[in-house]
Each structure stands twice: as structure tokens, then as C-alpha cells.
Amino acid sequence: MKKRHIAFWIAFPISFVLVGAILIFLFDLTNGPLVLFILMLFSLVALAASSIILLNKKLLFRFIPWVSFVGVIVLLLSLSKPSVERRSATLFPNPEKTKVLQLVNGKVQGAYTKDKQVEVYAGIPYAKAPVGDLRWKATQPVEDWDGVKDCTYFAPKSMQSYGDPITGTLVEMYAEKGWHPDYSMHPNEPVSEDSLYLNIWRPASFEGKLPILVYIHGGSLTTGSSAFQEYNGETMARNGVIMITITYRLGIFGYFAHEDLLKENDGLSTGNYGLLDQIEALRWVNANAASFGGDVDNITIAGESAGSSSVSALCSSPLAKGLFKRAIGESSSIASFRAPHTFRSLDDALSTGKKIMKEFNVNSIEELRKVPATKLLTTQYSNSSMCVDGYALTKSPYEVYKAKENNEEALLNGYNVKEADAFVVPTFLFDPTNKNNIETRLADTFDKQAASEFMDEYRTEIEKDAFSTFNDIITAYWFMQPHRDWSYLAFDNGEDVYRYQFTKENGYLGTNHSGEMVYCYGNLDKTGKSFAYDQSDYDLSKTMVSYWANFVKSGNPNGEGLPTWEKMSAHNSPLLELGKEIAPIEEKAERAYRILDEWKNREAEKELNK
């Protein structure tokens, strides 16, 4: 046997297995259609066969299969991306339909869960489509419709860009702390400007009127969906709560501001269209509560991340007064002195609006309304913040609470341990924070004085682990302190306030941003991450669902068989730890709060002296 034949039969099986493994990994990354994966495997088999057939040919000919294979794989990978499909209201095909439900504006028909214990009505319109001349106008009430509307599928997401599937899978791998291949297809949801819809989960059988929970999704006010399984409402419905999730305008469609829009709307509003959508959704819920069995006098609003920022805004908006009773906020708030995110001044919003007009080379709002929605998504300017527009928000939420003009009667709110990691780690992925650069990064984020104070206060921690210490400080700034401020303000106004800190690690998101959602809404079994959870996770989830449901029902999370959750009795009251242990714990970021408070005061003084 020739030497090259011996080398071939040694190297080829190794190469074949290696290339096959790479294809399997790439297919998991791209999350493309199964047919493309089959074509990839067929190409691999063709490569093997042609390589054997051409074994005795000249080197040039033996390279032809490999060049062809690489070309085919590059082509298939370029085509390999998630499909776009409507998402069913249930997690299984061909569900049984519910009876027709008469609402104020028309009839709807939803779907049952498999055991027929819960009814789901998805994609119910709550407002006119904000398209054409209604783009960047205050939300308009929905019009009546004829016939029975099929509500067995979720409506499209609000306009947003699709994330890159490879990046998404890599982020999943980071969150999962390993590689857990998933070859089931995960299609993208369609997106549309016509997206003002809501979804209802309710028990199939009940007596009297049930409390209502209206959930507002997160996503930095630029992305997100009302159909994600993390806050599927089935478990809440099984616990005697009608749960509703809503969509609202996002990004440039929801938070674009311009002086001409103020004139067009008689000086009423600009820059808060997404917030106005949320208010209109609450109006719809109030008007239709009796139609779907809800108690109009017992409505709680809830949200996570930007959804929680929105909750704090709704608690501060005069337009939302009387539309709900209680509030739940998870991992964000703008009810804070100098809120660190999702909030900006009207001047900043208007300045950005002028830049956007110039970016798209238009001279009027009429011209900008004619720009296709998909092109508007390409804007380089962030539209991820609310502002004091004089209509939806007449004061900053901090000022509203200080004036005792907030809307909620009771507040349940809190945060996770590693909130900022998901934002900070990717930012410094190729240049991680260390002892040599942490002070510069702190100074860039705050000022030199604050950086010096942080270095002195956290010297021991920085010497031990500068990377984690920096993340902890940013977590305190972006998430923990805003919730502390919100809690203090609500408590000072005489509210019952319940605070938590989520500390339960697992094999997936754990205590990172949004890690608590699947627990408090009871959806561990719907995530497709069964490898990540053990019995302790399911036990904790059952307890948290009970806390959340009890709070929605009565304003008090406590109930029979649950560890006692003491309401706030003073500014320094303990929080409730929700983790391996469920017990009171002391606030751990007081040192950071002191430095942050002083820095914010300095910044405020600078602005006053300008």
C-alpha cells in the first residue's frame, strides 16, 4: 500500500469525525431549518465518497471535493437561520378551542391547555394599529370587530431587529456554563408595527370575580415579546389569578421624540408612545374585566427589567391613576433619584429626535412616517428611555413619589445578585476588568472622586477579585439602588412594601438578570432547560408562585405553609432572601449606596450650576 494511502486512511476518519462534529456544533449555533442540516450531512457523505473515489488521482483533482464541500457549507450556513412562524397560544399542536367569549368590542375564541383546566386567549387587539398617520401618535382605542376572532395564536411582536442566532446560542452557552445542544427548531416570531395586542390566561372554571395580573415584558424598551414562556400565565391561572401579558411600541416607534410631534399633539406628548400603549392596555382591561371574569377593583401590574421600569412609570403617571391597585417590580426602576437607565430628560429626547431626522434625510414628521419600518430599525441612535413629556409623565417618578402622588397601594419588588453581569461581561469580553484597569473604569462610569472612594472602600475585595467587584458595583448602581429608592419612597408614603433578593443559582441564568422570572411565574418546565434545575428549584418556584399570587389577590404575599415574609418596617429593614434558604437577610450594598448617593448629589449640583 502506498504511503499516501496509509496517510489517507489514518487522517481521513479523523478529519471526517472532526468536520462532522463542527457541522453539528454550527447547526446548533445557527438554529437553521432541519432540511439544511440534512443537506450538510449529505455534503459530508459526498465528500467522503468522492475523496475515496479520487484517492489515486492527482493532487489537484483530490482537492476538488474539499473546495466544493467548503463552498456548499458556506452557502448552507448563509441560508441557515431560524424561520419566522406564528407562535401557538399553547405548547402543543391542534389544541381544543374554548367557547366563544364576548368582549366589549367583539367575540373571541381561544384554546384550552391539554388538561382543559386553563383557557388561553392570545392576540386580542386592545388598540388601533399605530401605523400610517398613527405612527408616533397617542394610542387610540380599538374599534369593534365583526364575527369571532381566532385567538389561538399570539400576535406579532412589536417592531424590533432579530438577534443574530449564532450570538444568541453563544450567550446561551455562557448562561448554561457549558454546551447543551438543542436541535429542535426555535422559529422567530413575526414582527409588525401592528402589534398592540394582549393575551389572557384564566381558569377554565371558577366562581365569582378573579384578581387580575397585567404583566409588562422587558427588553430595554427596544426588544421583547408578550409570548415568551418565562412568563407564560398558565401557572398563575391555576393559582386563581387571571394573567394578562401585553405588547407595546418599542425603540424608535415607542420612544422617539420631536418638537413637531408636540405641536401635532397640541403639546400633549412626545417620546412616551410605548408608555401610552401600556396605559391604553390597562384601560382596556378595566373596561373588559367583567367580560372575562376579572375583578376590576383588584388589578396588579408587574414587569421585569424595562417592564419593571415601565411599572414604576405607570405608578407615577397621572393617566394611569385608578387603573390598577398594586405593583410588582423585578430588576429595574426609574423611581429613583437620577435613574441610571430607561429614563432621560425631554431635552435629550428631543435632541436625539433631531439627529434621527437628519440621519434619514427628512425634513418633516410626514416624511419620516413614510420611511419603511424596517429601515427605521437601522437607526444608530438609542430610543430606550422614557422622559417627562408633560402628559404621560408630568414629573420624574422620583418627584411624584416625593409629592405622595403615586398610584399604587402596595409594592412588591426586588432584584437578583448578579444583575449587571449580562451587560458588563460582554462589554469587556476581550479586556476583562482587573486590578490595573478597574479604577479607570470606575472613573469613566462615575467620576474620579467616586472611583477613588470605591477603591478605598473595596480594597480587600478588589485585591481578591477585581472582575467580580466591578460587576457588583455596577449591579448596585443599575439595579439595587433604584429598588432601594423605590422601596423607601413607597414606604415613606405609607404603603405596604415587600422586598426580596433572588439568590438561587442553577445550571442556566441563576441569579443573573431575569433569572427569577421562571420561578415566580412557575415556568421551569417550559424553558427547555431541564438540565438546569433540580427539586430545590421546583420547590422554590412553588413558594415564589404562591407569594406572587397571594400578593396579587390581597396585597400580602404571606399564606399558609409559607415562610413569613415581613413587610418593610423601616428603611433598614431586612429583605427576604429567595434562594436555597428563604429567610430575612440584611442589605449588602450599603457601602456602595453611600458613595453612589454622594456622586449623584455632586452631579445634580453641577447641573444646577450650569
pLDDT, one tens digit per residue, over 307-337 is 999 999 999 999 999 999 999 999 999 999 9
DSSP state, 141? B
pLDDT score for 149: 98
Report whether pLDDT(4) > 70: no
Say if CB 227 and CB 152 are below 8 A apart: no
Q: Mean pLDDT, to the nearest integer, of 513-526?
A: 96
Q: For this structure, is 305 an active site residue?
A: yes
Encoded amino acid at 476, one letter: A
The closest of 601, 505, 427 to 175, measured between CA atoms, is 505
What Cα–Cα distance (Å) separates residue 474 from each residue in 141, 286, 423, 446? 41, 39, 10, 10
Q: Mean pLDDT, to the nearest integer, of 473-484?
A: 98
Q: Tell me the backbone φ, ψ of residue 528, rounded to 5 degrees.
A: 75, 15
Encoded amino acid at 282, one letter: L
Say if CB 548 and CB 520 are below 8 A apart: yes
| Helices 438-445 and 448-457, axial angle in degrees (round to 10) | 130
pLDDT score for 30: 63
What Cα–Cα distance (Å) separates residue 183 from each residue in 91, 92, 134, 168? 17, 18, 41, 14
286: how many CB neighbours lie within 10 A of its CB?
A: 17
Cα–Cα distance for residue pair 182/37, rounded to 1 Å: 13
pLDDT score for 145: 98
Cα–Cα distance for residue pair 500/566, rounded to 1 Å: 10
If you count them, how many residues does the chain have?
Answer: 610
pLDDT score for 52: 74
Given its phi and psi angles, is residue 170 left (phi above 0), alpha (psi -120 to 50 degrees) or beta? alpha
The closest of 373, 391, 400, 303 to 342, measured between CA atoms, is 303
Using the CB atoms, write b or e for 467-506: b if 16+ within 10 Å: bebbbbbbbbbbbbbbbbbbbbbbbebebbbbbbbbbbbb
Report whether pLDDT(133) > 60: yes
Which of the four pLDDT bands, split at 50, 70 and 90, describes residue 59?
Answer: low
Report whether pLDDT(541) > 90: yes
Catalytic hit among 305, 331, 332, 336: 305
pLDDT score for 528: 86
Say if CB 335 and CB 398 are below 8 A apart: yes
Which of the four pLDDT bands, split at 50, 70 and 90, describes residue 45?
Answer: confident
Question: pTM for the whole thing?
Answer: 0.92
Strands 197-203 and 210-216: unpaired
Cα–Cα distance for residue pair 102/15, rounded to 1 Å: 63
pLDDT score for 425: 84
Q: Quick one: CA dihedral 504, 506, 511, 513, positive or negative? A: negative
Surface-to-core class of residue 121, CB atoms within 10 Å of its CB (0-12 exposed, 13-18 middle, 19+ buried) = buried
Say if CB 244 and CB 213 are below 8 A apart: yes
What Cα–Cα distance (Å) separates residue 325 from each residue in 169, 211, 319, 551, 552? 40, 10, 14, 11, 9
pLDDT score for 253: 98
Percentage with pLDDT > 90 across the chain: 77
Q: Tell me the backbone φ, ψ of residue 496, rounded to 5 degrees.
A: -80, 120
**Residue 585's beta-bridge partner residues?**
575
The closest of 610, 589, 603, 341 to 450, measured between CA atoms, is 603
Separation of CA 218 from chain center: 3
Say if CB 115 and CB 100 are below 8 A apart: no
Say if CB 219 and CB 248 are below 8 A apart: no
Encoded amino acid at 412, one letter: L
pLDDT score for 67: 81
The position carrying cell 455562557 is 174
Cα–Cα distance for residue pair 401/70, rounded to 1 Å: 62
pLDDT score for 409: 98
**Residue 71, helix vs strand vs coil:** helix
Q: What angle do CA 78, 80, 81 make, to 5 degrees?
A: 110
Q: What is the 3-state secondary structure (H, E, C) of 146-201?
A: CCEEECCECCCEECCCCCCHHHHHHHHHHHHCCCCCCCCCCCECCEECCCCEEEEE
Q: Mean pLDDT, to the nearest integer, of 267-271?
A: 83
Report which of residues 417 and 15 the model is more confident about.
417
Q: What angle do CA 462, 467, 469 make, to 5 degrees?
A: 50
**What is the tally of helices (H) and strands (E) in the chain?**
21, 16
Encoded amino acid at 5, one letter: H
37: how many CB neighbours lie within 10 A of its CB?
A: 19
The position carrying cell 447543551 is 180
Cα–Cα distance for residue pair 490/312, rounded to 1 Å: 11
C-alpha distance across the termini of the chain, in Å: 86
Of 179-183, 273-277, 310-314, 558-562, minimum mean pLDDT range: 179-183
Encoded amino acid at 435, one letter: K
Cα–Cα distance for residue pair 218/516, rounded to 1 Å: 13
Surface-to-core class of residue 316, CB atoms within 10 Å of its CB (0-12 exposed, 13-18 middle, 19+ buried) = buried
What is the tens place of the pLDDT at every residue in 77-116?
777 777 788 999 998 888 999 999 999 999 999 999 999 9
